[in-house]
């Protein structure tokens, strides 16, 4: 069931890797600039910066409980996953931007193997496997309407398209519940696992 079909009795669950303070701080100027275009762009709160590993969508209480229970029993134990935040960009392009992002480059194959583990975990619970390739990125904002990113923001993204923002490591994998609100989504941690 897609996110557009979420009812009040459904729980929007997803599994993600949250970014640490070092990563959030490195993007503070970009976040402020995005915030200055609040009418045109819905910025993502830096407190909630994450990479989505699996989005389950709206699920009923019984399945939500099962996901939480099985996630809690999952054996991760792979160690922290080093990464670099480098470059800014937009999907599908800056001139027709709908999503603004920062690039994430993980060292080694830790991120890909974690993605596969969670795909297997999700499939065992009856969720469809992801058909698109896993392309890690940090969503910074979503552009409303047509016309792409405003000029100053486009310039900022172009001049920082290769910039190294931060080097850090993912240390936790989290099962979140997302509650959609007019001022932005509220994410609640259901369960957390150390990597």
- Among candidate residues 126, 130, 7, the one with its CA nearest the CA of residue 70: 126
Measuring CA to CA, how many Å separate 63 from each of 4, 99, 121, 127?
Answer: 19, 31, 14, 11
Q: Which CATH number fits domain 11-194: 3.40.50.10420, 3.40.50.920, 3.40.50.300, 3.90.1140.10?
A: 3.90.1140.10
CB-based burial of residue 189 (10 Å sphere; 0-12 exposed, 13-18 middle, 19+ buried)? exposed
Rounded to an integer, the average pLDDT of 184-191 is 90
Mean pLDDT, the chain, whole residue set = 91
Mean per-residue pLDDT, 83-110 = 93
pLDDT tens digits, one per residue of 112-154: 999 999 999 999 999 999 998 888 899 999 998 887 888 999 9
Please, which pLDDT band fits residue 8 given cuts at 50, 70 and 90? low
DSSP per-residue codes, 26-80:
HTHHHHHHHHTTTTTEEEPPGGG-EEEEEEEEEE-HHHHHHHHHHHHH-------
The residue behind tokens 């509220």 is 186
Domain range summary for the chain, segments of one domain joined by +: 11-194
pLDDT at residue 1 tops 60: no
Using CA atoms, how far residue 56 sits from 24, 40, 86, 116, in Å, is 25, 28, 28, 15
Do residues 61 and 129 lie in contact, with contact meaning Cβ atoms separated by under 8 Å?
no
How far apart, in whole angstroms, are the C-alpha atoms of residue 153 and residue 73? 44
pLDDT given at position 122: 97
pLDDT bucket at 90, cuts 50 / 70 / 90? very high
- Inform me whether the pLDDT recorded for 2 exceeds 70: no
How many alpha carbons fall within 13 Å on the CB side of residue 68? 16
Lowest mean pLDDT, pick from 78-92, 96-110, 173-187? 173-187
Both structure tokens of 96: 């027709």
Q: Round to whole Å and give the CA distance between 130 and 120.
A: 10
Name the pTM for this structure.
0.89
The per-residue pLDDT for 103 is: 96
Please report the pLDDT score of residue 71 as a whole number: 97
HEC string of 77-115? CCCCEEEEEEEEEEECCCCCCCEEEEEEEECCCHHHHHH
């Amino acid at each position: 069931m897609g996110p557009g079909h979420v009812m009040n009795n459904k729980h929007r669950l997803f599994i993600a890797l949250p970014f640490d303070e070092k990563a959030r701080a490195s993007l503070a100027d970009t976040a402020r600039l995005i915030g200055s275009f609040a009418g045109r762009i819905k910025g993502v709160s830096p407190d909630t910066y994450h990479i989505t590993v699996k989005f389950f969508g709206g699920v009923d209480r019984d399945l939500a409980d099962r996901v939480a229970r099985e996630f809690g029993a999952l054996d991760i134990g792979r160690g922290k996953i080093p990464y670099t935040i480098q470059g800014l960009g937009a999907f599908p392009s800056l001139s027709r931007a709908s999503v603004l992002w920062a690039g994430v480059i993980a060292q080694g194959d830790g991120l890909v193997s974690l993605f596969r583990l969670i795909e297997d975990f999700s499939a065992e619970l009856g969720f469809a496997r992801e058909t698109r390739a896993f392309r890690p990125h940090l969503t910074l904002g979503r552009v409303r309407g047509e016309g792409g990113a405003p000029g100053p923001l486009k310039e900022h993204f172009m001049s920082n398209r290769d910039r190294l923002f931060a080097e850090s490591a993912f240390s936790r994998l989290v099962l979140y519940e997302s509650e959609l609100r007019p001022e932005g989504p509220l994410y609640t941690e259901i369960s957390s696992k150390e990597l």
